[in-house]
Amino acid sequence: MAAEILAGIAARMGTVIHGQQQAIRWLLAASASAGHVLLEDVPGTGKTTLAKALARCLDLSFQRVQFTPDLLPSDILGVSIYDPTSQGFFLRRGPIFTDILLADEINRASPRTQSALLEAMAERQVSLERERHGLPAHFMVIATQNPVEYHGTYPLPEAQMDRFSLRFGLGYPSPAEELSILGRDQFLDPLATLAPVAGDEDLLTVREHMRNVRVSNELYRYIIALVGATRQRDGVLLGAGPRASIALLQLGRALAVSDDSGFLTPEHIQELAVPVIAHRLALDPQLRYAGGSGNAVVEELLQQVPAPA
């Protein structure tokens, strides 16, 4: 049943996001495992549409914040306002109090503003005026950034990168997929007619099935060995931490449910290794200047670390 739920959501999202089956699969896995996603790609590839389609199909609340250099933490979290009638203060909640928050061009905001998301992403709560305010159970951040435009941007710190379960791009559509996009009625918003196909109870059903996915001791050791190898690899100044291991396990369980499998396989871990681990690595400048990348390091380790038979 859980696999059918995810398949139905993916099929509906595919009606507005053409040729992005893998991106939809990974985004649904992140939503099911309560993870956050960093979409890193050039403008116009459908990042915002993908986030909106997820919210529509799951019937979840959605807020979008355009990150700019002058954005303040209070613009995201909210602010206390004095009410002369009651002669007291009340909290005007910011857009972070939602199910899905789209942080558009997140690297354009200052480090101070970026840090406003740290507590929310790690603990699903916000501290304001010495009080803690819980966030919705399905809260997730989908952030976007342009990887080729650096003017007026602030690189995300390692602590924030580590809070993203996944980082991936969408890429350009194929000529056939682009033709189907052009063939749509350009005067109609495809999201306007996108009706929900699942809801809160369906997400809870998927998460219940995830808890029942069997994981062998060999796969636990494989995850630990793969993540641990990043800490020993020459040219890597900062390897992946325990959050990467947890994300691999949880996202792998979600993929197993999506594949209607009762157990986690090495193939699930290998599929997720690059988008889960690569963005968490800090590379030595010499390795970067030689053309090295986090993706290449993880792909190399996948060849070196033996997988369970």
Query: pTM for the complete prediction?
Result: 0.92
pLDDT(147) > 80? no
Over range 262-288, report the average pLDDT: 94
Over range 282-307, report the average pLDDT: 91
* pLDDT (0 to 100) of residue 155: 85
* pLDDT (0 to 100) of residue 185: 59
- 37 or 182: whose pLDDT is higher? 37
Percent of the chain with pLDDT strictly greater than 90: 67
pLDDT band at 121 (very low <50, low <70, confident <90, very high): very high
Over range 166-170, report the average pLDDT: 93
Q: Which residue is it, tokens 């509906």?
A: 12
Over range 117-133, report the average pLDDT: 90
* pLDDT (0 to 100) of residue 187: 66
Q: What burial class does residue 63 get, using C-beta atoms within 10 Å of its C-beta: 0-12 exposed, 13-18 middle, 19+ buried?
A: middle
* pLDDT (0 to 100) of residue 102: 96
- What HEC string does the chain produce? CHHHHHHHHHHHHHCCCCCCHHHHHHHHHHHHCCCCEEEECCCCCCHHHHHHHHHHHHCCCEEEEECCCCCCHHHHHEEEEEECCCCEEEEEECCCCCCEEEEECHHHCCHHHHHHHHHHHHHCEEEECCEEEECCCCCEEEEEECCCCCCCCCCCCHHHHCCCCEEECCCCCCHHHHHHHHHCCCCCCCCCCCCCCCCHHHHHHHHHHHHCCECCHHHHHHHHHHHHHCCCCCCEEECCCHHHHHHHHHHHHHHHHHCCCCECCHHHHHHHHHHHHHHHCEECHHHHHCCCCHHHHHHHHHHHCCCCC
Q: Compute CA 273 distance to the chain's CA centroid, rounded to the nearest angstrom.
A: 14
pLDDT(244) > 90? yes
pLDDT digits (tens, 9 = 90+) for 208-225: 999 999 999 999 999 999
pLDDT(151) > 80? no
* pLDDT (0 to 100) of residue 150: 66
* pLDDT (0 to 100) of residue 149: 66
> What's the mean pLDDT when you consider all of the chain?
90
